[in-house]
Amino acid sequence: MLSEIKNSLINLDIDKTLELVKKAIDQGFKPLDIINTMAEGMKVIGDMFERGEYFISDLIVASEIFKEVMKILEPLIMKEKEVMKPIGRVVIGTIEGDIHDIGKNLVATMLRVNGFEVIDLGVDVSPQKFVEAVKQYNPDIVGMSALLTSTMMNMRKVIETLEKEGLRDKVKVIIGGAPITEEFAKRIGADAYGENAIVAVDICKRLVEELKGKK
Amino acid sequence: MKSRERVIQALKHVEPDRVPIDLGGTWVSGIHAKAYYELRRYLSLPEKLPTIIDVGQQLADIDRDILELFHIDVIDINRVLEPRAPYPRKYRFVGIDSSLKEVSEYEFWTWRTPYGIDVEMPKYVEVVEREDSFIGYAEGKPFGKMPKTGYYFWGLKHALADVKTIEDVKKFDWDVGKVSDDVIEVLKKKAEYLYKYTDYALVNPFMGSPVALGAFRGLHAGGQTLRGWDKWFGDLKFRKPLAEAILDHIFEVMFYNIKKIIDAIGDYIQVQVVGYDDMGVETGPQISVEVFREFYKDRYAEVIGYVKKYSKAFTFLHSDGSIFPLIKEFIDIGLDIINPVQISAKGMEPEKLKKTYGE
């Protein structure tokens, strides 16, 4: 049953996936097991995207199916008081001056799908707002996105502000977006660059591990 | 060799005397006002405020001195600086202060931008300052928002984000996208004038819809503008009848406008833009070739086919990103020009493009 759910997700068949999930619940499968199955399916879809077999439209369609499934499962999880401990907490936002949120939203969704708790600050987020969020939520990771060469320079300001406030060592910083490169990330003192949403998730997992090691 | 002849030769794949040069000929080969201001300073040209030709992107129109200095071969027939046609479009609208305004396209006001310079803004545009941003209005209707740290106006909302049924889609006022006859009249005079009195290759980047509407600039981008970037992908996959209904309407407006435009100016212009339709991202096409064929290919074939059948104009489509497999699809239906050819995107290496598609 669970492998059928996984396959129908991989085939991007929303109707069949929802039908199978409902059936699985009726048959007594645990919501958390279903979520794990879905996450495995998303991983396969991510790999297919990486290999160029799936397109960004497929990635977004898959996350839409995932969200629909979560609408069914979330109330059950609440009822059963099953607790899924997030593997890490991420504060994410599009940088000041930039209101592009497609990439940022996709990364946020993929992180959630993979078990992260995500606090999305939205778009045009100032360095102050990032710093306040770090103080308030105590995240493991800060994620910043930019689409424009003119706004990506503002990422450095966020890192500098974190340093000034003595918060830089408490979090890992990952950045991404069309104009960003590995070299740029290094230059402004970020910990990592996520080339796309799939890579970003793997890196965030690694960064959380590194933080744990440090603590 | 004169500019117009040079561009036509190149577009016919015959080698001209030199590579034709474009700066500001279209809204996707222009220069931002700030960069333009710095460029003039760098070249020690007479200091003057940049004149905005594309309000959303804040692109500057190119002055005659730069056209000549850079040996530019291509101009937009809607340009507002000299050399320009003495036939400005007239705008009549209710402004944000509720008064009736009548202004010409060649009238400007000075706007202190948040990006550090003053610019000449067309008078059909009004700007309202908010706490965190500026809201732009064109002909009295809001078209975008510029953050206080920004350089551009961004679209405001997705008009059809919440539609559920084909009936909802029908209720939308699609006719607002259609070009009016008096706009066509002015366009014709401009094209005819510039054809007669200049040697430039003439481009019409205008596809007929008002500034405030991004929905009719392309099939894919139109769907995304109306529904939301990611929701549109879900429509193409799970809600096909809804997607088809929306595309039928977008196509109807696009085709109506292109037909009006080509019937009026097809004899004068060398290039007509048929779409601003980003179909790629940095890493690959947004959609598969199969999806392109299912939803877009036939509709674009009709638009491009009309231009080619009823005029000598070459057709121009803008798509950012990595679109390698889609280029063949566009060649199939007769498209002449792809802009910008983003060679920094994955799979868009110039050697590969030349080997596969070049001749």
ipTM of the complex: 0.89
Position A83 scores a pLDDT of 65
Selecting from A12, A98, A102 the residue whose C-beta is nearest the C-beta of B229 gives: A102
- Nearest to A143, CA basis, from A66, A97, A197, A187: A197
Provide the residue ranges of all domains of chain A, joining segments of one domain with +: 2-80, 88-214
Selecting from A12, A96, A196 the residue whose C-beta is nearest the C-beta of B149 gives: A96
On average, the pLDDT of chain B sits at 96
**Domains of chain B: residue spans and CATH:** 157-359 (3.20.20.210)
Position B55 scores a pLDDT of 95
Q: How far is residue A136 CA from its own chain's centroid? A: 20
- Nearest to B333, CA basis, from B287, B292, B298: B298
Helix runs in chain B, H state only: 3-11, 33-42, 64-69, 166-171, 181-197, 219-227, 229-238, 240-265, 289-292, 298-310, 324-332, 350-357
Summarised one tens digit per residue, pLDDT across range A23-78 is: 999 999 988 889 889 988 988 998 999 899 999 999 899 989 988 998 998 888 77
| A181 vs B: CB within 8 A | no
Selecting from B154, B230, B287 the residue whose C-beta is nearest the C-beta of A55 gives: B287
Chain A hits for B236, CB-CB cut-off 8 Å, are 57
Summarised one tens digit per residue, pLDDT across range B245-286 is: 999 999 999 999 999 999 999 999 999 999 999 999 888 999
Residue B232: closest C-alpha in chain A: A57
**How far does A148 lie from chain B, in Å, by closest CA?**
10
Summarised one tens digit per residue, pLDDT across range B189-204 is: 999 999 999 999 999 9
Domain pair A2-80 / A88-214, same fold: no
Chain A hits for B229, CB-CB cut-off 8 Å, are 102
**Which amino acid makes up residue B7?**
V
- Residue B213 reports pLDDT greater than 80: no
Average pLDDT over residues B123-141: 95
d(CA B238, CA B222): 18
Position B212 scores a pLDDT of 64
Residue B234: closest C-alpha in chain A: A61
Determine, for residues B288 and A61 on separate chains, whether the beta-carbon distance falls below 8 Å.
Answer: no
Average pLDDT over residues B294-310: 98
**How far does A79 lie from chain B, in Å, by closest CA?**
30
C-alpha distances in Å from residue A72, one per residue of A19, A20, B6, B108? 11, 12, 63, 56
Structure tokens at B31: 């220069």
Structure tokens at B172: 């939308």
Q: Is the domain covering A2-80 a CATH 1.10.1240.10 domain?
A: yes
Determine, for residues A97 and B147 on separate chains, whether the beta-carbon distance falls below 8 Å.
Answer: yes
| A102 vs B: CB within 8 A | yes
Q: Cβ–Cβ contacts within 10 Å for residue A181, how many?
A: 12
d(CA B314, CA B337): 7
Determine, for residues A14 and B238 on separate chains, whether the beta-carbon distance falls below 8 Å.
Answer: yes
Cβ atoms of A34 and A18 closer than 8 Å = no
Element (H, E) at A24: helix A14-26
Position A68 scores a pLDDT of 93
Give the phi and the psi of residue B318 in degrees, each rounded to 5: -100, 130
Residue with tokens 């099953």: A82
Cβ atoms of B172 and B160 closer than 8 Å = yes
Average pLDDT over residues A183-198: 94
- Residue A133 reports pLDDT greater than 70: yes
Chain A hits for B151, CB-CB cut-off 8 Å, are 97, 148, 150
- Residue B54 reports pLDDT greater than 70: yes
**How far does B106 lie from chain A, in Å, by closest CA?**
30
Determine, for residues B233 and A97 on separate chains, whether the beta-carbon distance falls below 8 Å.
Answer: no
d(CA A202, CA A194): 9
Residue B153: closest C-alpha in chain A: A99
Q: How far is residue A146 CA from its own chain's centroid? A: 16
C-alpha distances in Å from residue A151, one per residue of A12, A131, B68, B116, B240? 35, 18, 32, 15, 37
Element (H, E) at B32: strand B31-32
Q: How many CB pairs under 8 A join A and B?
A: 62
**Residues belonging to chain B with any Cβ–Cβ distance to chain A shorter than 8 Å:** 132, 145, 147, 149-151, 154, 229-230, 233-234, 236-238, 281-288, 291
Position B210 scores a pLDDT of 78
d(CA B263, CA B274): 14
d(CA B27, CA B21): 15
Determine, for residues B145 and A99 on separate chains, whether the beta-carbon distance falls below 8 Å.
Answer: yes
Summarised one tens digit per residue, pLDDT across range A78-119 is: 776 556 688 999 999 999 988 888 889 889 988 988 889 999
Among left, alpha and beta (phi > 0; psi -120 to 50; other), residue A85 is beta
| A94 vs B: CB within 8 A | no
- Angle, CA A105 vertex, CA B58 and CA A157 arms, to 5°: 60
C-alpha distances in Å from residue B135, one per residue of A116, A151, B131? 36, 19, 11
Give the phi and the psi of residue B310 in degrees, each rounded to 5: -105, 10
Selecting from A12, A56, A150 the residue whose C-beta is nearest the C-beta of B286 gives: A56
Selecting from A52, A60, A124 the residue whose C-beta is nearest the C-beta of B147 gives: A124
Chain B hits for A96, CB-CB cut-off 8 Å, are 147, 149
Determine, for residues A56 and B283 on separate chains, whether the beta-carbon distance falls below 8 Å.
Answer: yes
Give the CATH H-level superfamily of domain A88-214. Answer: Cobalamin-binding domain (3.40.50.280)
Chain A hits for B150, CB-CB cut-off 8 Å, are 97-99, 124, 151
Residue with tokens 């101009």: B75
Residue with tokens 């980047």: B205
